[in-house]
Structure 1
């Protein structure tokens, strides 16, 4: 499965890479440090991910701004996008679902909980028929 991981925090990126390395299924990971960089990757046409994992709180273009642009683009608007954030703000959650996300996950503090949540999400999308289409 091809994954686009959009995250500006190096520690969070390392946690995600560590979680992926422990999984039996091997995934192709593309990383972007902000929404602008992610849009460049998506619009280049070189690689379309099967899923996007997106942080909300980023510089230059935050996750909600990125979602608005993504979901208005005819070719890439159907890419399943899962928000992976520390924000427990109900307004953020509702706005993201209004725009059209596939899931909203709050990053737990304990690494073991983080790993469990991420493995569950990736295993689900790995067997989901949309990814296979």
Structure 2
């Protein structure tokens, strides 16, 4: 598996719970942490105890939106190259525009069905094996 240590930055507790359930449905060995505040997430990432392999970021957060978060994240040497998935209820307009401005950023529309979210996360976390 390409990504074993995942950071979710999302202020919606229900979405975070479904996200965790989907990860465990994929693989119980996946480690993930949740930050419900973008400012706290940036603070943690400035001196991470363990660097995440990938960050899932809710675009619409209090204090900083996804674009502002990405600008600040890419200035932190320890984590500047980490792939980010903008994880949002809206996958158009501002979200796609923000993703296009940065390397290693993709967009994933939030799914409220555990089955649908699990399938989407599997495609990201378990890329097809080359034959």
Quick one: distance in 1 between partners of 2:61 and 2:48? 24
Aligned to 2:99: 96
- Unaligned regions of 5+ residues in structure 2, if any? none
1:23 aligns with 2:26: yes
Output the CA distance in 2 between the equivalents of 1:44 and 1:67: 17
Instruction: For structure 1, list consecutive stretches of 5 or more residues without a partner in the other structure.
Output: 128-133
Could you say which residue in structure 1 is the equivalent of 2:38? Answer: 35
* Contact persistence 2:95–2:107 (CA under 8 A): no
Describe how 1:1-133 pairs up with structure 2 within 5 A: 1-24=4-27, 26-124=29-127
- Tell me by how many angstroms 1:56 deviates: 0.4
TM-aligned CA deviation for residue 109 of structure 1? 4.2
TM-score by length of 1: 0.84
Residues 53 and 81, structure 1, Cα contact 8 Å, conserved in 2:
yes
In the alignment, is the contact (CA less than 8 A) between 2:9 and 2:55 conserved in 1?
yes
RMSD of aligned Cα (Å): 1.9
Q: CA deviation at 1:65?
A: 1.0
